[in-house]
Amino acid sequence: MSVWLLPENIADMLPREARAIEHLRSSFLKLVTSHGFEVVRPPLVEYVDSLLTGTGGDLDLRTFKIVDQVTGKTMGIRADMTPQVARIDAHILNRSGVSRLCYVGSVLHARPLHPLASRQPYLAGVEMFGSSSVESEREVICLGIESLRQFGLENIFLDLGHTGVVKAILDSDPVSEVVQDQILFALSHKDRSALEELRGVLKEKTVDDLIRLTMLFGSEDVLNQVIEEFSDYPEIPEILESVRRLGRESGADIVSCDFADVAGYNYHTGVTFSVNIPGRYQPILRGGRYDDIGERFGRKRPAVGFTLYLREIIAVMDTKRPYAILAPNRLDDAALQSRIRELRENGDIVIEKLPEDNVASLEESFRLDEELVCINGVWTVAARTSNR
């Protein structure tokens, strides 16, 4: 095997992507910290007992596991940062009231989310602990949409859901717990024939309602249909009115609803939301409410948050080369060095050209429209006049 080959679905982050990721990272942190969110940096590895707490089986399958050479215990390389942030809130900070935390970093997946997905996603996200109100959900959703707008994305398509709708239907049928995995699989694929096969196991009404749910998705008008058709479940109208409010106040360009989307059903405990880009396999933003995650750490707290998949976002962005100024490489020229320092302090990129530098190669990474030239003894930024 060639020594330079990387594992499947693992790739280097080359200069243009790395530069774009760094821009998103700094923009994101500047935005969310201005809203009172504090940055945390969890470790890359933890014991699996805490790393997989309250997350369901999907994350377990995506987690690389290794043996700690010091203790002999099983450790996991993080595949998600939300459980780590929940541990920090519950066990270390142990604050009263609302806690607003944010993070940016890489995770590692044992299995890719889809055939083309990187197994080393670069994530950014926020988590809010201590509030069960719809206002906290609104703050988090709006912040997610604002983040995407700050990145330069337009025509943002927000998809809303709520685990409470499916839960209300399943709770009305005691047998549903036995075949819950089959139900969730059928709902996630909108496989009505698979639901039909559960007649005789589930109540007729349960099967009918689940099948109807797979057909009710789309714009806000769907909410009225769901409220009308599921009016015999007393909790559903209140749930849907909160979803309606969140959609209207989200700031997204287009809002749709899909209550048969059960991704993370065993993890989320309320509203769910995602932002999708046409032609992409996975959402670029995913979030929701997950009130049970801190229970295993001894502190059950309401929680809501979102995760941004920065490498997926970069893939749909027009990443432009930054402007740079070419300068002669003359360390003995004090005036030149002073001018270069001044430009760099003002945020400009200045490349001091070495004899081995190839301008054509540099232009693959930078827009070299200007150079420093000495005019009447003064080093001045001027338009480039040659390709040397």
Output the known binding site: 80-82, 127
Tokens of 303: 């929680």
Residues annotated within the binding site for L-histidine are 80-82, 127
- Taking the mean position of all CA atoms in its chain, how far away is CA 39? 16
Tokens of 101: 């935390």
- With tokens 């679905």, the residue in question is 9
Spatial separation of the C-alpha atoms in residues 190 and 187, rounded to whole Å: 5
- Beta partners for residue 387, in sequence order: none
Half-sphere exposure of 272 (CA within 13 A, CB side): 21
Tokens of 197: 């096969």
